[in-house]
Every structure is written in structure tokens, then in C-alpha cells.
Amino acid sequence: MATETPMSHRLDALQMARFVVDGFVEFGNLVPDALNAQVHRDALAYPKNLGYNPNKPREFWDFSDAVREVFELPAVQGVVESLVGPDAVHDHSFLHTVAPGRREAQRWHVDSSLAVDHPRQFDILVCYFPHDSPPEMGPTLVLPGSHVRRVSYHDVTRYKNFLGQRQLSGPGGRIAFIHESLWHCAQPNKTDDWRFMFKIRYLPRVEQRGLFNPDGMDEAEIEAFYNDSNRKYAWAGDQFVAMGQAWRSWWRYLAGAA
Amino acid sequence: MSETRQQILILHLAEPDLGAHTVAWALYDGSRPAGDRQMQAGDQPEPPYASVVDAMHDGWRVLQLPQLPTYPRGAEHETGPLPWEYVLERCVPMEGANGD
């Protein structure tokens, strides 16, 4: 990503506020169907059950021309740049698979320890599902809103179920752009088909503020959005107040007011 | 007498009150045969009990109550793991055991 995408491809203020509250934003319309189908074919042709090899941190990326094309789309780059800025580092990527009939769920975890300035300072995990992924196929389960909690890697494996847990299921071509501290886990695949999800971790090179598109930002609308989100997460119980404080403090920083 | 094994139920509540509603839950079941699948992440959309008190009425014994918080200055709004975590247990006959 050597050149910046135009502001028109960046997240707008409300989408950015949604990322602050939920810990991710997802889109189903950024990638043409034909390209999704080609990535799916590449995934099927790729050797199965390759574990992640840190000495080959971009194996599927190097294997599939189509997946590189997906991430070069201005609409995709624009979201990435909204969150981690221009020229972000592609730290590593991996084609995550769940085999047909695999009944084990992954344990809840986060993909990071704590950044010094958590949650303002963060990497993103970009999760791309090239094919239709209904719930029974085991798309990733996330706990929306969990990214503002200060936990590290496997601290959350003892937990099993939460009010508000949500699978990233849906039609093919969806991309979720996720804060590194969001709690998540892979799910069982009850179908006869492989489930694929390609994930890139991007690291910022810049301070993560003032990166979204502020055109048309309505401060009253943003404040109303945060107010309406106050009780959004039942799993947070009486800590909704502290979480609301975290959102607003982060938002002031993002918008350049703090 | 049939052999019994321990079940551990962890309920996370919305507030410290034992009657507050359950927001997260996990079951570790020692009565299941070794190798059987335990409760998994994401496999149960509704809590088994509405509250700790509700579980007590069903025979669960409370093993652990969470400590109430103190707030170090400067970290008043920090959040981490779920705070209102109650650990409960009961002993039940081994699954598949022949009781006498």
C-alpha cells in the first residue's frame, strides 16, 4: 500500500464510531462475486492442513493472485487505511480452515497481548470469507464490544458462552475488519464442505487518529449513537458505564479533540 | 451407592447480587466419561440458570464469591475479565455408571 486511497473510500464518522463500540466493522459488498469465486477455487486447490509457518508468513498470499487482488481493491484498502493508516505493515497472513465435520470449537482468545495505549493503539485483523458461511459451517464467533477490556491472549479460555456472542456468518465475500483485542474463536463445521477464512494482520506505522473521513460528521448524531449504545452489551452487566467512558475517551482522541 | 463426580458451573452475573441475571456461563462436567466433549465455546445460546440463586434452588452449592472492587486512582474506568464470577459445584452420579 504505497499510495493512499481517496477519502471517499474511508470509513465515515458513524462507521468509525461503530468500530469503537463493536470492535469491528464488516462489509458484504466490497468484492466482486467473480473474484470471491476465484479465491474460493484457490483455497480448494491449496494444500490442506498446512499449519502456520512463521518462516513463511504469507504463504496463501503468495499462492493466490486473486486474494492479492481483493486486498488491492480501493474499497478494501480504504477501510484498512481508516483504521491503521497508509502503508500499514502486512505482518503475516494465513488461510484459516475448518475441515468438514470438525466438531471441536476453538477456545475463546484474543490475538494480542495488551498494547501500551490499549485500545487506541491497535493492529487489525482483516478476516475475509470468500464463500457463503452459514452458522453451521463454523464461521468465526466474536464477542462484540469485548475489545475495550484489558485481557491478554488466552486469559478468556475459561469462558464458554455469553449473552450477545455472534458468529460472522453470511453470504460469500464478507470482510470483517477487527480490533486486535476482540475476543473470538473458530466454530465447529457441521457441513461436508471446507470452511475457509483468509486473515491478514496489519500493523500501523502512524498514530491512529484523524484517519477516517469526517465529511458530513454530525457531532449530535455521534453522541446519540454512543448514548443509544450504552446498554447494548448485556454481557457487560453493570460495567456499561466504564465501557461508555472508554468509547468516548477513545472517540475524542480519534476525532482529534483530545 | 453409585460413584459421584464433581460438576463445576461458572456463572457470570450482571451485578454482584446473587440474584442478578446471568450474562455468561461455563460448565465443566467431571461426570462425563473421559474424552467426551465438554461444553464448548459458543454451543449454548441461553444460560442454564437465570441467576446464582436460581442455580442454588436446583441444588448447586456456591464455592466462590467474587471480591468487590477497589479502584486504584487513575484506573477507575479500566475493565478486564468479567468481574462478577461465581463458581458453583454439585456432585452427581457418573454418567453411564451402574448405581446400586
d(CA A88, CA A177): 14
Q: What is the pLDDT of residues B66-88, one digit of tens each?
A: 999 999 998 888 899 999 999 99
Cα distance between residue B97 and residue A172, in whole Å: 47
Does B14 sit within 8 Å of A237, measured CB to CB?
Answer: yes
Q: Going by C-beta distance under 8 Å and a sequence separation of 6 or more, which residues neighbour residue B60?
A: B9, B49, B88, B89, B90
Say which residue the cell 462436567 belongs to.
B29
Q: Please, what is the average pLDDT of chain B?
A: 93
- What pLDDT shows up at residue A1? 46
Q: Answer yes or no: do A237 and B15 touch at CB < 8 A.
A: yes
The segments of chain A whose pLDDT lies below 70 read 1-3, 258
Give the pLDDT band (50/70/90) at residue B9.
very high
B77 closest CB neighbour out of A141, A160, A246: A246
pLDDT value of position B100: 46
**Chain A: residues touching B (Cβ < 8 Å):** 103-108, 141, 148-151, 155-156, 158-163, 165, 167, 185, 187-188, 234-239, 242-243, 245-246, 249
Give the model's pLDDT for residue A258.
64
Peptide bond into A134 cis (omega under 30): no
Cβ of residue B91 closer than 8 Å to a chain A Cβ? no
Residue A243 and residue B79: Cβ atoms within 8 Å?
A: yes
- pLDDT tens-digit series, residues A2-22: 567 888 899 999 999 999 999
Whether pLDDT at B48 is above 60 = yes
Domain ranges in chain A are 10-203
Instruction: Quote the crossing angle between the two packed helices A219-229 and A240-254, to the nearest 10°.
Output: 160
Q: For residue B74, how many other CB atoms are within 10 A of its CB?
A: 7
In this prediction, the answer to ipTM > 0.90 reads yes
Residues 6+ apart with CB under 8 A from A118: A150, A181
Q: How confident is the model at residue B96 (pLDDT cuts 50, 70, 90)?
A: low
Nearest residue of chain A to residue B77 (CA atoms) = A242
pLDDT of residue A3: 62
Residue percentage of chain B with pLDDT more than 70: 94
Task: Enter the CATH code of domain A10-203.
Answer: 2.60.120.620
Instruction: Look at A246 and B79 and tell me if their CB atoms are within 8 Å.
Output: yes
pLDDT bucket at B97, cuts 50 / 70 / 90: low
| Span A61-84, pLDDT tens digits | 999 999 999 999 999 999 999 999
What does the pLDDT read at residue B99?
A: 43
